[in-house]
A and B are shown apart, each in its own frame.
Chain A
């Protein structure tokens, strides 16, 4: 795919690198790279890949830009708040480099569509903020034989690792299983805005190396980055013979959606309280209503501000401490957004408790609908 005169000018600094040169730049032009998640990681990754001249850049996201995104998601400006991320990102990337194609996939990846979306690309960058999607994308990449550059962030820490088909371990080899609530998630715990800049740039670097055949990707090497200590650590990861998807006897032979707690039929038994309904219950005294208020956030979040009468059992400790809730009163779980409290309900149901309740929308809904002065900790 020959370069035009304007492309030769635009990519001059790449062409000046003997390791890349004209051949490498033409490979980039021919490359089709899919970025999953136009968030903290996807923003810098997509910007650098567009600037580098990746010919076809796909973006997967179903969200709209929120004001709280702008602290780290450098693809977007204030005027984009409220717009679909894929549309705003496409405009921004084409303004940066009109020589490339940007494909917007405004959807949620699921078992039924993941192969179709990924099939059109040569390599995949995973910057999603959902564990279920991480596993889904990993499995699809293994099944399709696509390279995957994975990264994740939490507070001041980030991870990156690359999977190359047939050459090294996949994400399931690294972490065979994980559940939301027991691993680090930025929505609740916060994240340093510049952190995904470092990890997203690593992902873009890996993509460029793989597309051009230059350098050595981080295959079988987990790179961890601690921004507070400014420390990179590299740890070896080997392929697991018993890996469910890339092992010797795989049990995952087609994409499947994770059995997400939120989707289980059991959760139909959960009593979902709106903020105003909970407020009414509190006014009538929880005790007399036969309820006990359990805040499942981390201790530092709880200590910032919590509802009167609530006790703190972080979600990660709940399975072990369910016995403390045994008794006649029904637990009402609360958290920041309603996500962890729903998971707490699932744990309580598994533990044999009947009809646990949770605050829908979490304390954010409480602050919005009941008490505007209630300060909800970022984590």
Chain B
């Protein structure tokens, strides 16, 4: 099962500039693992060593904020990765 993932600007250096990619998995954890297989290093930018979502990152499945990495993801879902920006 694959879903759409929107990559925030600061992490697009991992996706060769792609703003939207597809990933496999039925949960957020699996989606992140799928992203990591394709774009090495990207998972660690979103979650820490204890598998907690980093405080400057927010994850959404469609418009629902992800609280647990076990949150289910469906085939037609869009996962939004939001990263704090500091530019002004």
Residue of B nearest to A314 (CB): B13
Taking the complex as formed, is A13 at the interface, i.e. its CB lies under 8 A from any CB of chain B?
Answer: no
Q: Are the C-beta atoms of A235 and B63 separated by less than 8 Å? A: yes
- Give the one of B10, B19, B86, B88 with max A CB within 10 A: B88
When distances are taken between beta carbons in the complex, the residues of chain B under 8 Å from A340 are none
**Given that A184-B9, A226-B19, A236-B65 are known contacts, is A153 also in contact with B85, CB under 8 Å in the complex?**
yes
Q: How many residues of B contact A (CB 8 A)?
A: 26
Q: Are the C-beta atoms of A153 and B10 separated by less than 8 Å? A: no
Taking the complex as formed, is B69 at the interface, i.e. its CB lies under 8 A from any CB of chain A?
Answer: no
Q: Which of B33-67 contact A (CB under 8 A)?
A: 41, 44-45, 54-56, 58, 60, 63, 65
The residue from A126, A184, A234, A238 contacting B83, defined by CB atoms under 8 A apart: A184
The residue from B10, B45, B55 contacting A154, defined by CB atoms under 8 A apart: B10
Taking the complex as formed, is B26 at the interface, i.e. its CB lies under 8 A from any CB of chain A?
Answer: no
Q: Are the C-beta atoms of B55 and A157 separated by less than 8 Å? A: no
**Given that A154-B10, A196-B88 are known contacts, is A177 also in contact with B55, CB under 8 Å in the complex?**
yes
C-alpha gap A186/B9 in the complex (Å): 11
Assign chain A's interface to a size class: 35 or more
The residue from B6, B12, B13, B86 contacting A152, defined by CB atoms under 8 A apart: B86
C-alpha gap A236/B41 in the complex (Å): 28
Known: A152-B84, A185-B86. 12 other contacts (CB 8 A): A37-B88, A39-B88, A41-B88, A153-B87, A175-B56, A182-B45, A182-B54, A183-B86, A185-B87, A235-B82, A237-B58, A317-B41
